[in-house]
Amino acid sequence: MILKEDENLVTLREVVRDFLDEGDITAAPEGQPRWDPARWARACKELGLAGVAEPEELGGAGIGPAGLMIVLEEAGRVLSPLPILSSVVLGQGLLARAGDYHARAEMLPALLDGSRTATVALGAFGDGGTGFEALDAAANPDGTWTLTGFTSYVLDGATAGWVFVRARAADGPRLFAVDTDDPNITCTVQESMDLTRAFARLDLDRASARPVGDPGIADAVLADLRHLLTIAVASEQLGGAETTVRMAVDYVKVRVQFGREIGSFQAIKHRCADLAIEVDDARSAVAYAVWALQEGSDQLAMAASMAAVVCTRAFVDGARENIHLHGGIGFTWEHSAHLYFRRATSDAALFGDSNHHREAVLDAAGI
């Protein structure tokens, strides 16, 4: 381990795991909210999940990125639908990087106690994802701003109180926050292969918007936030990959065929061993990336993309082989194996595929 878990991190992992294990892995009906607001409020108030990485002087726990990645790993292990990735990683992550003290002071208390959530439109990141957006900002004579256009595949966009977007302004691209209660915003739930996450398209027609941060910083903030998002998704993927391998191994130990447990067959042993090696590689890649994030290393860009490549492969392979090794039952809707495969496949598409991240590794290495 490059970043050793101290006693506080071990305790955090145990507490978060116990809390997340209370809920079953289920898929909400299409178009319905994926998570329970009361459960999220409890997670924020009793466990302080939203404040794990926030500094103590702002009401957080001050544990830092390492603690947040442990939360995400445990969330990925059970495919938790709670808005950790959208609100804590994206929403709070942008506020922490934008340098807008007033916006952060105004929004953060509601985000930390779970009364509101926030998210960042994936289209703001540009290439490397599936989200698309075309937004234009207009400054009014009274100093207010309005946005017109659309943004799609907004993670938890239908339930978020605030959505941060990147819009074209007269002085260049800028970051804005919009309140989804604005009547000039139309929210349409979008279908997704992942039945444990929700996405939405937002259409804005002169919707009121609040500038976040100074002019000219939008792309730099989003580039920094992209590294955090990449490592966060990799941490979730690690948790999911570990679970799929455990599920497969547990099943082949008890499934009897030809009078023997199928796990005793050499071909099955080799498949499980290959998956275990991939998970071990993924854990090492995440540990290095979290260290780089925690320490602000100049290797952060490379470490994040390396973790994305390794963890995406481990999760997709583990989810696919878990279905295969379960045989007929693995292909049924009643079994949770398909939910892991859906999450693994959609993650690879939405948050930058392996080819994109391989190119990023080469760029970071100067090749």
DSSP letter assigned to residue 44: I
Q: What's the rounded mean pLDDT across residues 4-24?
A: 85
- Asked if 86 and 153 count as a contact pair (C-beta separation under 8 A), the reply is no
Give the gyration radius of the chain's Cα atoms. Answer: 21
- Residues 186, 149 share a domain: yes
CA dihedral defined by 238, 239, 242, 243, rounded to 10 degrees?
A: -150
Q: Are residues 163 and 276 in the same domain?
A: no
Per-residue confidence band for 363, with pLDDT thresholds at 50, 70 and 90:
confident
Could you give phi then psi for residue 260, rounded to 5 degrees? -140, 150
CA separation for the pair 319, 337 (Å, rounded) = 7
Is 206 in the same domain as 80?
no
pLDDT of 33 reads 64
The span from the CA of 118 to the CA of 47, in Å, is: 19
Q: Looking at the structure, do residues 110 and 131 belong to the same domain, yes or no?
A: no
Asked whether residue 2 is domain-assigned, the answer is no
Residue 30 lies in a domain: yes
What integer is the mean pLDDT of 185-194? Answer: 92
291 assigned to some structural domain:
yes
Query: Residue 90: which pLDDT band, with cuts at 50, 70 and 90?
Result: very high
212 and 304 in a single domain? The answer is no
From the CB of residue 306, how many other CB atoms can be counted at a distance below 10 Å?
24
Question: Quick check: 30 pLDDT over 80?
Answer: no
* Same-domain status, 180 and 137: yes
Which pLDDT value is given to residue 131?
Answer: 55
User: Which pLDDT score, from 0 to 100, does residue 55 have?
Assistant: 95
Confidence band (pLDDT; 50, 70, 90) for 32? low
pLDDT at 116: 96
Q: Is the residue at 293 inside a domain?
A: yes
Confidence of residue 8 (pLDDT cuts 50, 70, 90): confident
Q: What's the rounded Cα separation, in Å, for the pair 357 and 301?
A: 10
- For residue 50, the 8-state DSSP code is G
Boundary (domain end) residue, out of 95, 116, 137:
116
Contact 10, 294 (CB under 8 A): no
Q: Please tell me whether residues 209 and 227 are part of one structural domain.
A: no
Residue 367's pLDDT band (cuts 50, 70, 90): confident
CATH code: domain of residue 200: 2.40.110.10
Q: Is the pLDDT of residue 89 over 60?
A: yes
DSSP strand E in the chain: where? Answer: 118-120, 133-139, 145-155, 162-169, 172-179, 185-190, 199-211, 256-257, 260-261
Count how many domains the chain has: 3
**pLDDT at residue 270 is higher than 80:** yes
Residues 229 and 345 in one domain: yes
What are the tens digits of pLDDT across the range 297-316?
999 999 999 999 999 999 99
Q: Which pLDDT score, from 0 to 100, does residue 88 have?
A: 98
Q: What is the CATH number for 48?
A: 1.10.540.10
Q: Residue 63: pLDDT band by 50, 70, 90 thresholds? A: very high
Cβ neighbours of residue 206 under 8 Å, at least 6 residues apart?
138, 146, 147, 148, 184
Q: Is 206 in the same domain as 316?
A: no
pLDDT tens digit sequence for 113-132: 999 999 999 988 875 444 57
The residue among 206 and 5 whose pLDDT is bigger is 206
Domain span holding position 173: 120-218
Q: Does residue 259 lie in a domain region?
A: yes
Which of 168, 184, 218 is where one domain is finished?
Answer: 218
pLDDT for position 127: 59
**Segment 29-54 mean pLDDT:** 86
Are 12 and 105 part of one and the same domain? yes
**Residue 339 belongs to a domain with what CATH number?**
1.20.140.10
Query: Domain boundary at 195, 218, 241, which?
Result: 218
What is the band of 283 on the pLDDT scale with cuts at 50, 70, 90? very high
Does residue 124 share a domain with residue 112?
A: no
| 1, part of any domain | no
| CA–CA gap between residue 220 and residue 225 (Å, rounded) | 9
Q: What is the pTM of this model?
A: 0.93
148 with 166, same domain: the answer is yes
C-alpha to C-alpha distance for 149 and 238, rounded to whole angstroms: 36
Q: Per-residue pLDDT tens for 314-334?
A: 999 999 999 999 988 888 888
Residue 77, helix vs strand vs coil: helix
Position 139 in a domain: yes
